[in-house]
């Protein structure tokens, strides 16, 4: 690949973030492969576990996904028996997502591998730089950043 494509100093922020995200996804997916989950699937299981029994809307918001993308990503997890969607008892129009016992087992199994990926990232990138990167990225996906970005 030509050097000018790889190190384009005028590369937009969005493109650079997307490239970095794709690379990290590839690396984490390779480490998680033995458990059969992709990092995006593990992330869903983690978010559901933390929230308990979130609505689809709340889960999508927490993951910074639109509901249709979330629904698409939930299908293989449902098919494999890791999560179920249930009608919300308070609002029949809403659906809630919960981990199954098999989903909890899969999350536990994947955690050991995920920790390996985290350690590899921090070894390659540096623990302090990794912490600073996570802080910067959390600012970027915050509602405050969205509001500031959308100001005229």
Per-residue pLDDT of the chain (152 residues; tens, 9 = 90+): 555 556 666 678 998 899 999 999 999 999 999 999 999 999 999 999 999 999 999 999 999 999 999 999 999 999 999 999 998 887 778 899 999 999 999 999 999 999 999 999 999 999 999 999 999 999 999 999 999 999 98
Measured between alpha carbons, how far is 102 from 90 in angstroms, rounded to an integer? 26
H or E stretch covering 99? strand 95-99
Phi first, then psi: give them for residue 125, nearest 5 degrees. Answer: -100, -25
Write out the CATH class of domain 34-117+126-147.
Answer: mainly alpha
Residue 29: Cβ within 10 Å count: 16
Q: Residue 2 corresponds to which tokens in the numbers above?
A: 């030509």
pTM over 0.75: yes
Per-domain residue ranges of the chain: 34-117+126-147
């Amino acid at each position: 690949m030509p050097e000018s494509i790889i190190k384009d100093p005028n590369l937009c922020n969005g493109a650079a973030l997307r490239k970095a995200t794709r690379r990290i996804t590839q690396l984490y997916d390779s480490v998680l492969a033995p458990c059969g989950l992709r990092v995006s699937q593990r992330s869903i299981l983690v978010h559901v576990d933390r929230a308990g029994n979130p609505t689809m809307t709340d889960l999508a918001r927490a993951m910074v996904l639109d509901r249709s993308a979330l629904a698409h990503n939930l299908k293989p997890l449902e098919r494999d028996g890791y999560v179920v969607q249930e009608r919300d008892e308070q609002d029949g129009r809403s659906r809630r997502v919960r981990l199954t016992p098999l989903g909890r087992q899969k999350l536990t199994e994947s955690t050991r591998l995920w920790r390996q990926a985290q350690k590899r990232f921090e070894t390659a990138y540096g623990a302090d730089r990794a912490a600073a990167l996570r802080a910067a990225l959390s600012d970027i996906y915050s509602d405050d950043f969205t509001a500031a970005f959308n100001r005229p």
